[in-house]
Chain A
Amino acid sequence: AQSVTQLDSQVPVFEEAPVELRCNYSSSVSVYLFWYVQYPNQGLQLLLKYLSGSTLVKGINGFEAEFNKSQTSFHLRKPSVHISDTAEYFCAVSDHLQGAQKLVFGQGTRLTINP
C-alpha cells in the first residue's frame, strides 16, 4: 500500500523568506504526486501535480515541487512567501482502485507566515 509522510507538522517562516515543505512517499509502482492547500474551514485546492516528464513542477501562487525518485521525495518550495500563504498543505499520492483514483494523504503541514 502507498503511504505519504510529511516530515514537519508545523513550519513558521518570516514573510518574504523562502520555504520548503517536505514530503516522502512509499510505493512499489509508478506514482502520481500532488500538493493541495487548505485554508481555514475550507476544502482543498490543487497547487500542483507530477504525472511524468520534467521532475520540476510549477504550480499556482509561485509554488514549485521537485520529484526525486531515488529519494522518494516530492518537496514543495517557494522562494519568497507572503502572509496569504498561511494555510495547511497536504502532499498526496494517487492510488488506482479499479477505475477510481484514490488519493492517499499525508498528515499535513501547517505553514505560518510571520510579518
Chain B
Amino acid sequence: DGGITQSPKYLFRKEGQNVTLSCEQNLNHDAMYWYRQDPGQGLRLIYYSQIVNDFQKGDIAEGYSVSREKKESFPLTVTSAQKNPTAFYLCASSPRIGNSPIVGGEAFFGQGTRLTVV
C-alpha cells in the first residue's frame, strides 16, 4: 500500500538533546512538508521541500532542521535551540508534474509523531 510512514509514534526528549523524526513516503511525490500541531492553533508549517536536495523554511523554522537526500525521505531534527518542542508533528506530501505544481492537489499525511520533553 502506498502512503506516508512516520516514526516513532511517540518520542521523549531530554532538555538539551537533539532528536530526529523520520518521514518516508512511497507515493512518488516530489513535495514534502513538516507541520507542527498544538492544541487550539491548527497546523503550522515548519519546512517544505519541492525536490531532492532543496528545502525552504516555513513559518516556524527556528530550532528545526531538515534534509532531503532522497525523494522518499524527509527527516526533521528538533534541535536544542527549539525552546518549546512538545507537540504533535505531522509529515505530508503532495504530487507535482514537471516544473508546475498540481494546483489544488491533495496533501497526504502521515500518522504523526508525538514529541514530549521530559
Contacts and interface: CB of A to CB of B under 8 A. Distances in A.
Interface of A: 4, 6, 9, 32, 34, 36, 41-46, 49, 51, 90, 94, 96-103, 105-108
A42 B9 CA distance: 10
B109 A44 contact: yes
A98 B30 CA distance: 13
Identify which of A9, A90, A97 gathers the most chain B CB atoms within 10 Å of its CB: A97
A97 B90 contact: no
Q: Could you tell me the dominant secondary structure of chain B's interface residues?
A: strand
A107 B42 contact: yes
Interface string B42-67: 11110011100000101000000000
A43 B90 contact: yes
16 contacts: A42-B111, A43-B90, A43-B110, A43-B112, A44-B92, A46-B106, A49-B106, A99-B100, A100-B33, A101-B94, A101-B96, A101-B101, A101-B102, A101-B104, A103-B107, A108-B40
A45 B109 contact: yes
Contacts, number: 84
A100 B92 CA distance: 12
A100 B101 contact: yes
B17 interface: no
B56 A97 contact: yes
A100 B111 CA distance: 21
B90 A107 contact: no
A46 B96 CA distance: 18
